[in-house]
Amino acid sequence: MKRTRFFVGAALTVAFATTALFFSCSSNDELLVDDTSDRVAVKFAATEVSAQETRMENATWGVGDAIGIYMIENDESTDNVVLEGAKNIKYTADNESGDLSVASSAKTIYYPVATPPVKVDFIAYYPYKSSLADWTEYPVDLTKQKPQSNIDLLWAKADNKGAGYDKSSKKVTLQFAHKLVKLHLKVQGSTDVTLPNNLGVSINDVYTTANFDITTGELTPSNVSNITLLKTGGDADAGYDYEAILLPTDDTNEVTITFTVKSDIYTWQISTSSTATKITKLEEGKKYDYIVTLAKHAIVASGSITNWKSNKPNPVAITVD
Do 14 and 138 sit in the same domain of this protein? yes
Domain range for 194? 182-320
The total number of structural domains in the chain stands at 2
CA dihedral 228, 234, 238, 239 (to 10 degrees): 10
Structure confidence at residue 99 as a pLDDT band (50, 70, 90): low
Do 135 and 190 sit in the same domain of this protein? no
Q: Can you give the CATH number for the domain in which 245 is found? A: 2.60.40.2630
Please tell me whether residue 106 adopts helix, strand or coil conformation.
helix
pLDDT(8) > 60: no
Give, in degrees to the nearest 5, the angle at Cα 149 between 144 and 153: 90
Question: Could you tell me which residues come within 8 angstroms of residue 106 by beta carbon, excluding any fewer than 6 positions away?
Answer: none
Do 228 and 107 sit in the same domain of this protein? no
The mean predicted confidence, pLDDT, of the chain is 78
Query: Prior bond to 116 cis, omega within 30?
Result: yes
Do 97 and 222 sit in the same domain of this protein? no
pLDDT(185) > 90: yes
Q: pTM of the entire structure? A: 0.80
Longest dimension (CA), the chain: 76
Q: What is the structure's pLDDT at 299?
A: 72
Distance CA(231)–CA(33), nearest Å, equals 49
Q: Can you give the CATH number for the domain in which 28 is found? A: 2.60.40.2620
Do 121 and 246 sit in the same domain of this protein? no
pLDDT in tens, 243-285: 999 999 999 999 999 999 988 899 998 887 665 668 889 999 9
Q: What is the structure's pLDDT at 273?
A: 66
Structure confidence at residue 25 as a pLDDT band (50, 70, 90): very low
The predicted model gives 206-210 an average pLDDT of 97
Please give the share of the chain, as a percent, with pLDDT higher than 90.
Answer: 44
Query: Prior bond to 147 cis, omega within 30?
Result: yes
For residues 219 and 247, is the Cβ–Cβ distance under 8 A? yes
Do 127 and 158 sit in the same domain of this protein? yes
Do 59 and 131 sit in the same domain of this protein? yes
Q: What is the structure's pLDDT at 321?
A: 40
